[in-house]
Amino acid sequence: MKRTATSSKLSVKRKSEIFKALGHPTRLQIVEKLAEGEQCVCVVLEMFDIDMSTLSRHLSVLKNAGIVTDERRGKNIFYSLTCPCILDMFQCLEKVLGDR
C-alpha cells in the first residue's frame, strides 16, 4: 500500500488538536509525568507554581484532546495517559531537536 503524507480533513483537525494540546509547557510536563503512570491531581499540582484551577483547566484540555483520562477514587481524581504510545512522539521529537 502506498503511503501518503496527506490526511483527511477530519483527521487533520484531530491531529492538530492533539498537537495544540501538547503545545504548552505545563501540559507537556503533565504528560511527561503521567508517563510514569497514573497520578493524582494533587501530586501533579506540586510540580508547578500555579493555581489549582489553572491546573484543572490544563488537565481538561488534555482530556478533551483525548490524551488523558481521569478516574475518581474517593476524594481524589487520578489522571493517566489514554494511550502510552503518545510517548513515542516525544522520542521522535527528541530526535528532531538532536538533529539540529
Partner DNA sequence: ACGTCATTTGGCTAAAATGCAAAATGATAT
Partner DNA sequence: ATATCATTTTGCATTTTAGCCAAATGACGT
Among 47, 77, 86, 87, binds DNA (CB under 7 A): 77
Among 54, 83, 92, 93, binds DNA (CB under 7 A): 54
Contact between 61 and a copy of itself per CB under 8 A: no
What the block records as the C-alpha cell of 66 is 483525548
Which CA distances in Å does 77 have to 2, 42, 73?
A: 44, 8, 6
d(CA 9, CA 16): 11
Contact between 18 and DNA per CB under 7 A: no
The site for DNA (CB under 7 A) is made up of: 20, 23-24, 26, 40-42, 45, 50-61, 70, 72, 74-77
